[in-house]
Structure 1
Amino acid sequence: MTTSPEARRPWWSLLYTWVLIGIVAGVTTGWLAPGFGAGLQPLGQAFIALVKMIIPPVIFLTVVTGIAGSHGVGSLGRVALKAFAYFLFFSTLALVVGLIVSHLLQPGAGMHVDPATLDAAAVKGYAAKAHESTLTGFLLAIIPETLVSAFTSGSILQVLFVAILFGIALSLVGETAAPVTDLLERLATVVFKLVSLVMWAAPFGAFGAMAFTVGKYGVGTLLSLGALVGTFYLTSAIFVLVVLGTVAALTGFSILKLLRYLRAELLLVLGTSSSEAALPALIEKMQAAGAAREVVGVVVPAGYSFNLDGTNIYMTLAALFIAQATGVHLSLGEQLALLGVAMLSSKGAAGVTGAGFITLAATLAIVPKVPVAGMALVLGVDRFMSECRSLTNFIGNAVATLVVARWEGKLDRAALARALDGTSAAPSAAEGDPRLTERAQ
């Protein structure tokens, strides 16, 4: 029996161990000293800011070198087309799953909430942002004002847009651009070294974020709406293990092994309540698992805006919960309208702070029978559900990357098996190994 390289390392040298310790310490601090815990929010914010700082160069270098080394611009179009077909199907399926489970379990039934007693002012800001977020505005915002501004705008899609154009240009120029491609390859090595250094700040970020969440919102708030939170976590687990598990099996790998392979990143997402915190590590780990760079570079960043399985489950589940709690009956036509609007609004608010709540407001606005003020019912526990949204989104994008790579014939099955079985010595930014080696194309 082969022993994994990771198993031979002492526990105290593994990053995910310290992230887990940070999460437990944060929950304990927030519970025992709520005021102090709530004041630790800057720790979590600082770590997220550090990660966001390195996301643009990671995406740019991964996409550009991937396209330049693929020796064919046509394959890029196929990858994008297959990725968006996947995103559309499974995003819609996530909405349907949320709708079905909310009907089966009825988490809001029997609450008999009078809409007039709800605090509409508490959700007014989210409703205003939902009105401002349109699909047209979202699409136009993908184009940066300048090439350089894409790296300072904070928009993942702007960086992806510029990287694709630059990569295509390098590919078309050919041998003349070889020195530039070589320079970018070397620069990528340095950037991933930087990623590994930043990742070691993750335990502090997870500690601060969890201490803030528990300290500010308290476990009492969580227990008061336990039916909704429990239903959402159960639905997300079913979607990951059954739906995505089936997709993984058909693709030739185990969803459980993938979760084990990504455990450090999953703990990081759980601790910080942000899937962006693990984006650089996901890019590197997907390449280490045998997915070609050009596939990873397109699918992962695009998926962060267009493949939001967890957010979509949350939208239909929360919308039906509010309807049930306020005694509103929705016809089949009105529920189908909710599905359609949820698909569009989830794209229009992508990348916006509080996107889950904003998209919920935009979805409810299409059915006047459901009071938007009803969002106040879930406002208190939304922070606790955001962890599950982020985790499900993250897992969905990991599966999508491997599936699209398989469809394109650009998935090294041997490398995938080694990575998921834990026998690969491939570097991982999340585990603190800064090396960047050539991935199988």
Structure 2
Amino acid sequence: MNISTPNPSSKTKKSIFHAVITNLTFWVLIAIIAGVLLGHFSPDNGVKMKIVGERFVDIIKLFIGPIIFLTIVLGISGMGNLKKVGRIGVKALAYFEVVSTVALAIGVAVAYLFQPGKIDKSGLTLGDASQYTNGSAKDFSWLQFFFSNFTLQVLLAAIICGIALNFYQKREQTILVLERISKVVFTCLKYVMYLAPIGAFGGMAYTIGKFGLATLIPLGKLMLCVYLTMALFVFLILGTILRYYKISILSILKYIKEELLLVLGTSSSEAALPSIMVKLERMGCSKSVVGLVIPTGYSFNLDGTSIYLSMSVIFLAQLYDVHLSFFEILTVIGILMITSKGAAGVTGSGFIVLASTLTALHKIPVEGLAFLLGVDKFMSEARAITNLIGNTVATIIISKTEHDFTELDLNPVLEE
């Protein structure tokens, strides 16, 4: 009597195939290839696809106001909770802001040093950016700038509401309502991002159709610059901070290698949150510090995201041949210091932050985001891994400064 048994290898192949075809990155890649082919072999039809990319960006722009408002209000109310925790919370916030600002500054510096948005001496101009400028410096007015700037208005309103919420008697109930609204908004954004392949196709087909295959060069340079900058940040900046406390960054990376692989596979640092907390406690960090710093760091300490966002703004400025003054660069860093706190854990939130920053700057066309759609998904892994490493280092440093670190347990654990 023959009993047929399922072929394990066949099941494995089917599961892998299913994982691939349901992966958004896979479809974005297919859309990019299709857009490049259409733009190259049928430039006229490729140019007509401009409206597809623009409509996707228009939908993304609808989320700017509610997401920025909700994340900033909830973030400031979260700061109130941290201060109630005491010295550890304040110290963690200070560390997050300093290191995140360094990450933003490094992103800007590397983008200006390597100029990924330039392909020749004259630069690559994708369109007329003059309509986005605010006039000459002589005509500049802070009041006019504010009232013509929706993003800055939302930011100010969110900051005021967030501060006021900390003094409101029914604070907890209000926060609960806002969190529910935020969850709905982010869920809607998640579903909108399923349209990313369509947006990527339209943006790539138009760009290649109008400007040729040479436009792929700056995209490749941007990806290379982002990966190199994040590696530089991890080994130079975070490595130096750890070295001050006589800890090797390589030992830390070896210790959390399983979590890094998990993040690489899922493109989300949140997937490794439970296991990284357990490992940090085993390493010697106190339970109270781990429980406070890691979850908070997922909203306030996004080093990889900060690098990507700052480099992307400068990259788009170079693509559109827009000169940014030193003051405008500081404005970009200042806005990103606030808005990047809302770029955690949800697909597409980084695009919201970019869109809000470009809108606030009022100088670089927001439509340039369609160009970035082609490579954004392929840099998400680097962002997530850098965010995870940054939060791991932050937890160790806060534990060390609190003298709440079991020194004797460090080396044996790292050698396992």
TM range (shorter): 0.5 to 0.7
Report the Cα distance in structure 2 between the residues aligned to 1:139 and 1:350, rounded to whole angstroms. Answer: 21
The residue aligned with 1:16 is none
Cα RMSD of the aligned pairs, angstroms, is 4.0
Residue 300 (structure 1) aligned with residue 294 (structure 2): yes
1:115 is paired with a residue of what secondary structure?
coil
1:145 is paired with a residue of what secondary structure?
helix
Residue 238 (structure 1) aligned with residue 232 (structure 2): yes
Moved over 3 A (4+): 25-31, 73-76, 127-144, 146-155, 221-224, 348-353
Deviation (angstroms), 1:388: 1.1
Residue 145 (structure 1) aligned with residue 173 (structure 2): yes
Report the Cα distance in structure 2 between the residues aligned to 1:369 and 1:232, rounded to whole angstroms. Answer: 23
Report the Cα distance in structure 2 between the residues aligned to 1:74 and 1:310, rounded to whole angstroms. Answer: 26
Whichever residue aligns with residue 345 of structure 1, its letter is: T
Deviation (angstroms), 1:113: 3.1
User: Residues 249 and 342 of structure 1: is their aligned pair in 2 closer, same or farther, counting only changes over 3 Å?
Assistant: same
Deviation (angstroms), 1:114: 2.2
For the 8 Å contact 2:299–2:342, the answer to whether it is kept is no
1:329 is paired with a residue of what secondary structure?
coil
Unaligned stretches of 5+ residues in structure 2: 1-11, 31-81, 130-148, 184-195, 205-214
Report the Cα distance in structure 2 between the residues aligned to 1:372 and 1:137, rounded to whole angstroms. Answer: 27
Query: Looking at CA atoms only, which structure, 1 or 2, has the larger radius of gyration?
Result: 2
1:101 is paired with a residue of what secondary structure?
helix
Query: What is the aligned counterpart of 1:252 among 241, 246, 255?
Result: 246
Deviation (angstroms), 1:348: 4.4
User: Residues 294 and 256 of structure 1: is their aligned pair in 2 closer, same or farther, counting only changes over 3 Å?
Assistant: same
What are the residue-to-residue correspondences of 1:33-432 with 2, within 5 Å? Answer: 76-110=85-119, 112-115=124-127, 134-135=158-159, 144-145=172-173, 225-350=219-344, 352-422=346-416
Report the Cα distance in structure 2 between the residues aligned to 1:370 and 1:154, rounded to whole angstroms. Answer: 28
Report the Cα distance in structure 2 between the residues aligned to 1:294 and 1:307, rounded to whole angstroms. Answer: 18
Whichever residue aligns with residue 252 of structure 1, its letter is: K
For the 8 Å contact 2:96–2:297, the answer to whether it is kept is yes
Deviation (angstroms), 1:324: 0.4
Unaligned stretches of 5+ residues in structure 1: 1-20, 39-72, 118-126, 156-212, 423-441
Report the Cα distance in structure 2 between the residues aligned to 1:298 and 1:289, rounded to whole angstroms. Answer: 16
For the 8 Å contact 1:105–1:231, the answer to whether it is kept is yes
For the 8 Å contact 1:115–1:374, the answer to whether it is kept is no
1:366 is paired with a residue of what secondary structure?
helix
Deviation (angstroms), 1:412: 0.6
Deviation (angstroms), 1:28: 10
Report the Cα distance in structure 2 between the residues aligned to 1:303 and 1:226, rounded to whole angstroms. Answer: 30
| Superposition TM-score, scaled by structure 2 size | 0.62
Whichever residue aligns with residue 90 of structure 1, its letter is: V
Report the Cα distance in structure 1 between the residues aligned to 2:235 and 2:160, rounded to whole angstroms. Answer: 35
Deviation (angstroms), 1:130: 10
Report the Cα distance in structure 1 between the residues aligned to 2:376 and 2:160, rounded to whole angstroms. Answer: 27
User: Residues 28 and 280 of structure 1: is their aligned pair in 2 closer, same or farther, counting only changes over 3 Å?
Assistant: closer
For the 8 Å contact 2:151–2:360, the answer to whether it is kept is no
Report the Cα distance in structure 1 between the residues aligned to 2:284 and 2:409, rounded to whole angstroms. Answer: 5
The sequence identity of aligned pairs, in percent, is 41
Report the Cα distance in structure 2 between the residues aligned to 1:385 and 1:130, rounded to whole angstroms. Answer: 28
- Aligned positions, number: 300
Deviation (angstroms), 1:276: 0.8
Report the Cα distance in structure 1 between the residues aligned to 2:324 and 2:250, rounded to whole angstroms. Answer: 37
User: Residues 405 and 334 of structure 1: is their aligned pair in 2 closer, same or farther, counting only changes over 3 Å?
Assistant: same
Report the Cα distance in structure 2 between the residues aligned to 1:271 and 1:239, rounded to whole angstroms. Answer: 22
Report the Cα distance in structure 1 between the residues aligned to 2:181 and 2:287, rounded to whole angstroms. Answer: 24
